[in-house]
Amino acid sequence: MGTGDREQAYARARQEAERLTANGIQGIALTWVDNAGLTRVKSVPTARLPQAARRGVGMSPVFDVYLVDDSMTTSRHVGGPDGDLRLLPDLERLTPLAAQPGWAWAPVDRYDQEGRAHPVCQRLFARRMAERARERGLAVRMGFETEWVVTTGDPDQDPPHYPTTGPAYGMARLVDLADYLADLLGTLDAQHTEVHQLHPEYSPGQFEVSLAPTDPVAAADLAVLVRETIRACSGRAGLNPMFGPVVDPGGVGNGAHLHLSLWQGDRNLCRDGDGPHAMTATAEAFLAGVLRELPALLAIGAPSPASYLRLEPSRWAGAYQCWGLENREAAVRFITGAPDDPGAANAEIKSFDPAANPYLVAGAVIAAGLGGLDAGLSLPPPVSGDPAVEGRERRLPTSLLTALEHFEDSTVLREALGDPLFESIAAVRRAEAALFEKSSPREIAIATRRRY
């Protein structure tokens, strides 16, 4: 950031701080998400927001090689106690937290002391990839789904105690927790977060919220904000939220599905084309690139050993490298939408889960899609029915180490991420695989289900 940008940020932050103070906001939570998928925070008093906007808040770069249990690994470019970064809040995203009176929130971008972009900043990576798409005249719209499980009593109890015994997708479950869910909807609305759906999911105590699509960085920001809002509302209701890929290793886990569509101006390229199910050639090549890179993308979107306890066939988790029209077992589900709603056509990537850093997911998916455009790829025939029953489709990696092998072989992702970010991600994945190498599935689930 240049001096002029810093002074503009300072002036705007002074205005924001005055407004927030007048509304009883005492502190600002400044968050980023590390390579292990954990949201980290530093906070400042509201009166210090202008200084934070001008100079940033200090933070060690070593957090880029933290693991899920807060132990550390190292990589060629990142590791050890030396160095300092500056966390600069994005004032466009500054949001009073309706479930946490006295607090506001803003995501940060990370720079070095000289004002240069930190090469391992995941949020700046997502921004670069969105800009790379815009340079081709393309706008990517994304929206994340968030699934979580709530329990009561001792949060470490195993098996957990669930606050409702209502059936999967059942109205009984919504009635049992109506006050909690109404509070969540009201809180998200107060934070100007547009919700498309909120409903009970398959597993005991499980729910899902789906958000309106927006640009990739904003979509990732909202994924962070929504999760922390769920956490706060759950605490107010005396509930323990669990966002880990699995709560019970024998059951259906939590997903963090990504919906995306590709646009040129007001035209949705997932509609009114000559390709499969009326997608345009551009959308087809983009999705073919995502499908091609999906084994490598799992190291981004399914980044924990726990992820592979979730990524099982016949659980709507997307365990096979295939796509299909409205096929919830395919890794890439294509959705045409109603004939009179051209904006609704999109693709859903089902293989990702809440252990993923949403900024890495957004940026890596764009990189993979643009790689498909560069290569002029076409989609294979779509799959109908359960690919596990058909037995002809390629199974996606069944372990983190296998996904990591694909990731390290991906020239598309290495080029997009750059060596410092690429290698720090790989180092964290390898270290977490080693961390849980001798753990049972239940031990992995218990160790991770409340960390994210």
pLDDT, tens only, 228-240: 999 999 999 999 9
Q: Is the pLDDT of residue 2 over 90?
A: no
Span 367-416, pLDDT tens digits:
999 999 999 999 999 999 999 997 788 999 999 999 999 999 999 999 99
Nearest to 452 by CA among 438, 432, 434, 431: 432
Model confidence band, residue 1 (pLDDT cutoffs 50, 70, 90): low
SS3 42: strand
Angle between helices 216-236 and 358-375 (to 10 degrees): 150
Higher pLDDT: 212 or 2? It is 212
**Cβ burial 408-443 (10 Å sphere, 16+ → b, else e):** bebebbbebbeebbbbbbbbbbbbbbebbeeeebee
| Domains of the chain and CATH, by start | 3-119 (3.10.20.70), 129-144+208-217+241-448 (3.30.590.10)
Q: Is the pLDDT of residue 186 over 90?
A: yes
DSSP secondary structure string for all residues of 393-429: SPBPPSSHHHHHHHHHH-HHHHHHH-HHHHHHHHHHH
Model confidence band, residue 274 (pLDDT cutoffs 50, 70, 90): very high
Q: What is the mean pLDDT of the chain?
A: 97
CA distance 253 to 131: 33
CA distance 225 to 339: 33
Task: Please name the amino acid found at residue 291.
Answer: L
Nearest to 303 by CA among 121, 132, 66, 62: 66
